[in-house]
A and B are shown apart, each in its own frame.
Chain A
């Protein structure tokens, strides 16, 4: 038999379907909002209850940078703001 199922046997961040998620620093977040000329709520959301958010320990209002693997552009950057469930 393989390894015994110890605490979390897997890390969702390493699953092939999950792209790279990073937390933006406050200044980076501000810069992004300024560049796009928007408020936070106009960004796509990611829920606080999202497994990846929990794993990263992000809070409501944080912005997460997602670096996706892209079929068209190679890699593509996406942003989501952590949002409370409504």
Chain B
């Protein structure tokens, strides 16, 4: 039996010099590494006692070969102490807060007692005490005289990277590391606790190095170049540097050199040790390699994306995997994957030999590794592996097989594998498939699963992994199979469905005039392997013909009833008893992202297996049919009669005339410029509106000539590919090209191209393309088209980066959330409750219909159809029946059911059944204990991030408010920025104002903030009368409703006079004010005349039947107090402000509604439960926390989890000083150390009572 133990926790601390010496196997002295023969010199950094890397050599310390020697540490005795860079700040703070003479903390005994008590209390309660420590430190650092020995303290400063300077009376003096060390030594253990340092693991003097550990060669292998030269690792170089300086320093000290020489050398030593630890330390020039490249030293090895944590610990390389190009194959099932034979012969599955499979496995062993269904290894019961490639007599080996052996056989058809395409943005990016071993070199998959993987076949590659253990296989089969992932947890509708040409094919098959003769029918029935009776033909004469609808109906379950509207023409599609009676099959029926489609109903009501079979057959039927019928799209489809073009020309002529009109009106200033816009913006706005109208009407003109049988039209309408806009662009007009949503305006001086006159702002000169793709773009248009295209590419590139980082942060913040057995959402590490019921109703969106669990009308109709009619149940009966289930069903379902039941006049019996079924449906729709809901939420919000638009300032209403939308706003919300970049408020009014536009406008003027600077036109200094005179703009004054009284009250504290006749405000200047005239003027101009601070603009809008005020800028507290405002309904998009004024719960609601708004605005479908969880996570701590390193992640108790995310090195240093213990409960930590995570299937643990076990039959004591 090999002995092994599992890691239960990791304690961080600082190595003491004693320990470093104790664990060292060799003192390293010599700066030279190799002698003339090329052999490593003992006591050099390549000392053979540190372990060996060469095959064939044995380690001088442990006697193992390079494979099993773990490597051994050595040490360097430093001639002078050196402050460890990583702890420089800690050392500095320690020195500042302790006495320079007696070493005690600079706090009186009473305070020490009081603080110790407080810390002890907090620690015992497990509460965070960082803030208290911060207060203690501040207090101690500001103490001037030691309360213990009365010594006066001197000011101390830290000079980066790691030098301490003391401000003595005689001037600044550098403290030598030795002095620092001896001061630190004096600090008593009991005082350290107050400074958040654990003396047991980390005595402060250990932060000043006297001995440096030398890592084993294993850690810093040298590589031999082709030329035969050795190239040493960066760490080795740095260690040699240290040794060289140490040697010189020692010699100089021994020979009694003058102290400046010694000081210089010890500074050099300091520098080398510093860069050895962290080559990016502030204040130290990075050490460079001969080539000029900065050395990668200890800190750099851990840090960042390429560092140990993220490269090797959070993600690891694996065996049993394959990668190759993918290609489509509709003849495969959606849960299958075609695996090339070559791949299948490389990958293996470990199969245990049993009495039942022994013959089969013997055959495989006989085939050996080179003949296809073979095997590569066998593992004997004693654990010995035999590689079949080296076995000459396979037959003999095969006959030796017996139960207990394990055969590692080739991958075979029917095996379960995991299939993955990067970027893995959501859980459907990895799904389990069944293997189909096929010829050729690509992985093949059914096009229906392209959507979840986001794959196409333009050269995409995918990865395949073979699960090895029974547990992994089971998990793959039960949870990861394609059919179990048809419904996306993001929006509760299918994400796997029919796409592209298959949709076109189904439309063509099921449209009303498709008839098939006997031969065609036979081919189609063959394709779907139909075994039943052939349905009677729809037409008998002249020859028997069947409709496409009939064929499609064969695929549906016989008891299937459903109706919905098609995507093609929005007409009803009706299915009764499994017969498609009316309507066509298209995206709305079997496509993706459509809730309540045929596909969705089948998955929900008949289960994933049936749905999979259905999809398999639909795809096969579609491909067979379209192969048979054919479908082409050619230029001819895009030709329309000349009349259409004449019409378009007409439209263009009208547009040009309109452009001239608009220009003239703007030039003459006849246009009312909307507030908040420059005249140029207003003009551009009008132009954009005009030009988009032009394209729309040109498109409309052309559409009349496009036949309903046009393939482009069919594809667009059916949801297969393209939109009507694409057709318009091909046939009618390409339209306006834009950069950042504006007309193209940059290029040459005041014109885009020299082809145009300067300042020409006609449509053509600003990127309007009059031609269609068919008529062809002229060179100018082509150029504009390219510019617009480039803008699009740049946008996409930037967006993927931004949304990728947002997703990483979301995942990191939410990953450890799971549903516990009691239905609460908790964190895996601390068991903190985030939600008391997942999504507030406990329902898994992937088991819902677009977020809804029960549609009462459908349920009741179904029940009524199968129950005999009776007298309607009374209201009381219904209520009490539902009331019985109040502790199970959420209130909303109860309310809806009650209403629907009464409306349907259901009998008692029907009521009973409905309630019973509702409960059953609800229970089966709940999210299961263990579900990693946090990750699902992070993925559901992060994955659509790439689809969000970037850089959008959306104009709400009629060119009024510009509000940040799209990805930037979403990032702003999860970042919990203190103020949004576009703060806005919506202020409903009390009835008195809400119904009266005049009064409402007056109120808006009251609210809008106006300062003196906004209304003054000139400022003059009247030296004669010692006055500063502001000439005010009367027009603006009256516009904003500012009266003489307003101005006078505003300047009450000054000696000021306002003359309304001349509109001049004059302020008396004192001598003092004269001296700072500039500042005084600024201050006066900042003076508030009227309105609420921070409200830059307030405008009245009519919404529904009331007038409301919308503002730019937000000031919730003051607006709430403003008379005439209906404060109960005031809204703002500043979440921090809400938290401050209305509390954390209101802020949570605001986070939900704001994020919902962004996603809705962008047309993205994300279940509300995800947003709820996000908001609850951001607000658990009582304040709004950012999703990122300063917020949610910082709150994590685990050192490793924080280090693995960002700022690794600093986190680890702090942890070492504080002597933190990581209990390895969270997901990140467990992945780092390679253990199963505690959520999902890993949540299940075995609990047993040790007490009961102790007296067991065989007398064995249970291990603790």
Contacts and interface: CB of A to CB of B under 8 A. Distances in A.
B1143 A70 contact: no
B834 interface: yes
Given A53-B1143, A86-B131, A73 B895 contact: no
Given A15-B1128, A50-B1143, A2 B1123 contact: yes
Nearest to B824: A36
Interface in B834-854: 834-837, 839-841, 843, 851
A43 B833 contact: yes
Interface in B1157-1200: 1168-1169, 1172, 1176, 1179-1183
A: interface residue count bin: 35 or more
Contacts of A44: 832-834, 1176, 1179-1182
Contact of B1127 (A10, A36, A86): A10
A73 B840 contact: yes
A27 B1149 CA distance: 29
A5 to B, nearest CB: 6
Given A5-B1121, A16-B1128, A72 B890 contact: yes
B1144 A72 contact: no
Contacts of B992: 2
Given A50-B1182, A79-B836, A10 B830 contact: no
Given A14-B1128, A16-B1128, A74-B890, A46 B1144 contact: yes
Contacts of B837: 73, 76
A73 B1141 contact: no
Given A2-B990, A70-B892, A74-B895, A38 B831 contact: yes
Contact of B1143 (A12, A38, A71): A12
Given A12-B1141, A17-B1149, A83 B1182 contact: yes
Contact of A9 (B841, B993, B1120): B1120
A9 B1141 CA distance: 14
A10 B1123 contact: no
A45 B1182 contact: yes
B1015 interface: no
A42 interface: yes
The residue in B836, B895, B992 that gathers the most chain A C-beta atoms within 10 A of its C-beta is B836
B1144 A47 contact: yes
A46 B1172 CA distance: 17
B1045 interface: no
B1145 interface: yes
B1182 A51 contact: no
Contacts of A5: 1121-1123
Contacts of B128: 86
Interface string B574-600: 000000000000000000000000000
A16 B1129 contact: yes
Interface string B1131-1171: 10000001011111110011000000000000000001100
Given A73-B890, A77-B836, A19 B1142 contact: no
A49 to B, nearest CB: 9
Contacts of B1149: 17, 19, 68
Which size bracket describes the interface of B in this complex? 35 or more
A42 B1181 CA distance: 10
Contacts of B851: 72
Interface string A30-45: 0000001111011111
Nearest to A71: B1168
A12 B1142 contact: yes
Contacts of B1168: 71-72
A73 B841 CA distance: 5
Contacts of A16: 1128-1129
Nearest to B1169: A72
B1150 A86 contact: no
A24 interface: no
B778 to A, nearest CB: 53
Interface in A53-74: 53, 66, 68, 70-74
B540 interface: no
A73 B891 contact: yes
B1123 to A, nearest CB: 4
Interface in B78-133: 125-132
B992 to A, nearest CB: 6
B822 interface: yes
Contacts of B1128: 10, 14-16
A57 B1150 CA distance: 24
A70 B1142 contact: no
A75 B1128 CA distance: 20
Contact of A80 (B130, B895, B1182): B1182
Given A15-B1142, A47-B1182, A41 B126 contact: yes
A66 B1176 CA distance: 13
B178 interface: no
Contacts of B833: 36, 38, 42-44
A77 B129 CA distance: 30
Contacts of B830: 42
A66 B1127 CA distance: 21
Contacts of B1143: 12, 18, 46, 50-53
Interface string B214-252: 000000000000000000000000000000000000000
A2 B1141 CA distance: 23
A10 B1145 contact: no
| Most chain A CB inside 10 Å of its own CB: which residue of B128, B993, B1127 | B1127
A80 B835 CA distance: 10
A37 B1069 CA distance: 71
A47 B513 CA distance: 69
B757 to A, nearest CB: 55
Given A2-B993, A52-B1144, 12 more contacts: A12-B1142, A21-B1145, A42-B826, A42-B832, A42-B833, A43-B833, A47-B1183, A53-B1143, A72-B1172, A73-B892, A74-B890, A74-B895
19 contacts: A1-B1123, A2-B992, A3-B1123, A9-B1120, A15-B1120, A15-B1127, A18-B1143, A36-B824, A39-B126, A42-B833, A43-B833, A44-B1182, A45-B1182, A51-B1141, A70-B890, A72-B890, A73-B891, A76-B840, A76-B890
Top 5 closest pairs, chain A to chain B, by CB? A74-B892, A74-B891, A73-B890, A73-B841, A45-B1182
Interface of A: 1-5, 9-10, 12, 14-19, 21, 36-39, 41-47, 50-53, 66, 68, 70-80, 83, 85-86
